[in-house]
Amino acid sequence: MGVLTTVSAAAKAALTIGGIGKLTFIPLMLAAMAYFNYDLLDPENRPFNQKYLREEYDFIIVGGGSAGSVLANRLTEIEGWNVLLLEAGGHENDISDVPLLSLYLHKSKLDWKYRTEPQDSACQAMIDTRCSWTKGKVLGGSSVLNTMLYIRGNKRDFDQWESFGNPGWGYDDVLPYFKKSEDQRNPYLAKNTKHHSVGGYLTVQDAPYNTPIGAAFLQAGEETGYDIIDVNGAQQTGYAWYQFTMRRGTRCSTAKAFLRPVRLRQNLHISLFSHVTKVLIDQEKKRAYGVEFIRDTEKQVIYAKREVILSAGAIASPQLLMLSGVGPASHLKEVGINVIYDSPGVGRNLQDHIAVGGIVFQVDYPISLVMNRLVNINSALRYAVTENGPLTSSIGLEVVAFINTKYANATEDWPDIEFMMTSASIPSDGGTQVKKAHGITDEFYEEMFGHISNRDVFGIFPMMLRPKSRGFIKLRSKNPLEYPIMIHNYLTHPDDVGVLREGVKAALAVGETKAMKRLGARFNDKPVPNCKHLPLYTDEYWDCYIRQYTMTIYHLSCTAKMGPSSDPMAVVDPQLRVYGVEGLRVIDASIMPAVTNGNINAPVIMIAEKGSDLIKETWLPKTNKRKRRSLKCSKIEQLFSRSNSLNTKCMVDR
């Protein structure tokens, strides 16, 4: 079965990009599979979609994404707790497993396909001047659609969270939760046991496939005075190979990592295609007691004995809070919703990482990822048999750099720009899927990139790490199926414009290094539409430039922020309990007080790991926890009584 599925995935990958109509190569691939005795799939199958649900569960988790999958795993470790996980989407598919094809999932049925309101400050090259906010509508959430980058952030991020009045969220407190999930497959990195671990559910590995451009990036970094580092180690400033949430060359989503291994637990029910529309809250007691959701076009109600946990992401979690009567009172009254608790911070403080698209350099040699050249039956076979080749590349992402602009204090190791450095770029697929995923207009693409479609290029995407601009989300109406109003407010703070402008200049400087010039690097210097009236390469030109091809990196966060009770805009307390309502928590990217310094999937998983322990601390008295530990150890000791290698200090959690 695993062989057939691998063949299917590899074949679909080739067909998706190459457009090949006949599967005459299937017998050859089957023979190769049998010869290599190859099975790419995990030994576990997909979790069950529970047909018949109980009337009541101890815990109801809303959203089976990066946080919800972790919570479902950890809470069902307690045998006496029954847990229901509700997910609006379905299962991931074969195409989502293939790293190279992540952009082909954008605007697919696995994507909520959110779009922001038009604004003049950014996204001027996008259709209708609206930014596309891709969010996973699938079990595993955005970990099924993302580029699998494993970046924890900077230790100062978490120390800052703690300084905002959130005890227990400093770097030393959260590092064990990062390590708890991790199964680091790079033996060199795994030796650093202070920062890494092995044996966790989440597989982290280096990319199986890199081009010569990746090595040149690292040489360019050294040439410009930066160290080669482990970005998840002691120092963040510098250049490094990316680390990915991959397993044997395929995507390791949180559904694959955390749910498949526990699919047979009798106390875990997963309900797919279940769109939650409201949290049920007792008006007098101010306590959450269940949820209302739509499944198979029918409205259903399920009750929660202990808690309802919102893990629906930074858009849907605040939307659900407001639909349930928790949010800014004036706004809720405006759309006709009964106010349960006036929480002015719900939907506010929205933060995101944005980058500048279009920083593209041509090279003289056929060494980059050009889709119509490298993605073919041979690469599909290589992917299936050797777990290697172009299909294992995460859309060309090879090297990451954390650098300082003139606005950062270089002595603090808290860089303000991240370079996402790729051996491909916008025109590498001939103007098909990348253009569609980013939502840029045909006219902009043709004028800027039409002349270099399917040419050998590399790209540098400067991403601003600590934005000062703040967006917000509010309800369009009280109809739960109507998408909320999403205001990005990108680049509305002048400091953000300055940082991103300097990031663009630094990216151009990389292209001028000897390391990149050896490849014939030359910047695609086509003047940007709407900015032609400005002198090229002046600050005014770059300020205009960054407002055109403004790329979200899909790190939406901070819309239900964690904070002390003295902060009127805090939505949850440091135990992630919603202020004003008992039995209700938010555990996802929404609770970040400030977005972390890097890609956010790893921090979201950490938040869920810590959040699950906070729930256990609430409901499991310490005496019971000690008793549970001794019981588990005794079982292990019975199983391994003949083994003299048993460590009697048994671990409760994996």
Beta-carbon count within 10 A of 587 CB:
27
In 3-state terms, what secondary structure has residue 585? strand
Give per-residue burial for 371-382: e unless 16+ CB within 10 Å, then b.
Answer: beebbbbebbbb
Query: Is there a contact between 326 and 341 (Cβ–Cβ < 8 Å)?
Result: yes
Evaluated on CA atoms 413, 418, 419, 420, the torsion sign reads: positive
For 496-527, give one letter per residue: b (16+ CB within 10 A) or e: bbbbbbbbbebbbebbebebbeebebbebeee
Distance CA 543, CA 120 (A): 13
Q: Which two tokens stand for residue 97?
A: 């497993």
Does residue 555 carry a catalytic annotation?
Answer: yes
Structure token pair of residue 226: 């930066």
Tokens of 544: 């205009």
- By three-state DSSP, how is residue 376 classified? coil
Q: How far apart are CA 72 and CA 81, in angstroms?
A: 11
Distances 308 to 380, 532, 587, 646 between C-alpha atoms, Å: 44, 53, 10, 39
Q: Smallest Cα–Cα separation from 590: which of 101, 578, 476?
A: 578
Rounded to 5°, the CA angle 16-17-23 comes to: 55
Distance of CA 639 to the CA centre of its chain: 39
Q: Which of 106, 196, 438, 555 is labelled catalytic?
A: 555
The rounded distance, in Å, linking the Cα atoms of 380 and 10 is: 5
Phi, psi dihedral angles at 251 (to 5 degrees)? -60, 135
Helices 171-181 and 601-619: crossing angle in degrees, nearest 10, is 100
Query: Bridge partners of 486?
Result: 473
Sign of CA pseudo-dihedral 380, 382, 388, 390: negative
Q: Which residues are catalytic?
A: 555
